[in-house]
């Protein structure tokens, strides 16, 4: 059975880049956000159940995220109802991915890992981190969010210091080379100390 390593980190910390580094070292990576995109796409497993509850959220056979956001803003109970549909489907997608793995270590990229208590089905967790200044600069450099939107997202996420305190491993993404060294060190530690524990 593959070792399940959960990967998380707040917005702008370098999680996606770090996930690619794990993949480069031969670890299959499951991405929670990508799973939701698959479920929302045409013929995705979430389309029909969401259409039954929120028909206005489905456009041309796919779930429209903008429409869902609008519904959630209008109805405080909508998010809970959407999550009740989507979370079990995401869990099935994750299980199917894990069942297909023969690699010693599989990485599960989960943005809200600690917020959703996902660590209960993982063997270890790793958090990517950077200084608040680096984080802010990276997010604003993307040009997709302004400072107010960035602040709103941060307020919904668990503070970085709390994530670091809960994680088994911490990777500082201050440079690509340093991050890659730390990814290699995490993999080496798991192989030496955890795979046959």
Residue 190 three-state SS: helix
My answer on whether 140 and 50 are in the same domain is no
Does residue 96 sit in the same domain as residue 192? no
| 148 shares its domain with 119 | yes
Query: Which of residues 44, 76, 100 is at a domain's end?
Result: 100
In this prediction, the residues of the chain whose per-residue pLDDT falls under 70 are 196-197
Residues 64, 157 within the same domain: no
3-class DSSP state for residue 106? strand
pLDDT of residue 197: 54
Measured CA distances, 92 to 9, 95, 109, 132, 143 (Å) = 23, 5, 15, 35, 34
Enclosing domain of residue 42? 33-100
Single pTM value for the model: 0.90
What CA dihedral angle connects 145, 140, 152 and 17, to 10 degrees? 100
Using alpha carbons, list the distances in angstroms from residue 151 to 43, 69, 137, 155, 157.
Answer: 35, 18, 13, 6, 10
Domain count, the chain: 2
Residues 124 and 85 in one domain: no
Give the count of alpha carbons within 13 A of 141, CB side only: 9
User: Does 82 share its domain with 122?
Assistant: no
* Inter-residue long-range contacts of 131-137, CB under 8 Å, 24+ positions, other chains counted: 131/174, 132/160, 134/12, 134/173, 134/174, 135/10, 135/11, 135/12, 135/13, 135/160, 136/12
C-beta pairs of 78-85 under 8 Å, 24+ apart in sequence = 78/54, 81/53, 81/54, 82/50, 82/53, 82/54, 85/46, 85/49, 85/50, 85/53
Rounded CA separation 135/140 (Å): 9
pLDDT for res 76? 83
Q: Could you give the angle at which helices 78-99 and 32-40 cross, rounded to 10 degrees?
A: 110
């Amino acid at each position: 059975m593959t070792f399940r390593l959960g990967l998380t980190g707040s917005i702008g910390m370098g999680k996606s880049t770090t996930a690619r580094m794990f993949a480069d070292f031969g670890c299959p990576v499951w991405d929670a956000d990508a799973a939701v995109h698959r479920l929302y796409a045409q013929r995705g497993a979430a389309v029909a159940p969401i259409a039954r509850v929120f028909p206005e959220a489905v456009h041309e056979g796919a779930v429209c995220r903008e429409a869902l956001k609008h519904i959630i803003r209008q109805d405080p109970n909508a998010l809970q109802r959407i999550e009740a549909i989507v979370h079990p489907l995401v869990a099935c997608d994750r299980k199917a991915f894990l069942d297909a793995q023969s690699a010693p270590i599989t990485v599960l990229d989960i943005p809200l890992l600690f917020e959703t208590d996902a660590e209960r089905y993982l063997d270890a967790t790793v958090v990517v981190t950077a200084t608040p200044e680096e984080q802010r600069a990276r997010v604003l450099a993307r040009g997709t969010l302004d400072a107010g939107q960035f602040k709103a997202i941060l307020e919904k996420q668990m503070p970085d210091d709390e994530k670091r305190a809960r994680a088994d491993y911490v990777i500082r993404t201050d440079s690509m080379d340093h991050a890659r060294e730390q990814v290699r060190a995490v993999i080496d530690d798991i192989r030496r100390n955890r795979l046959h524990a």
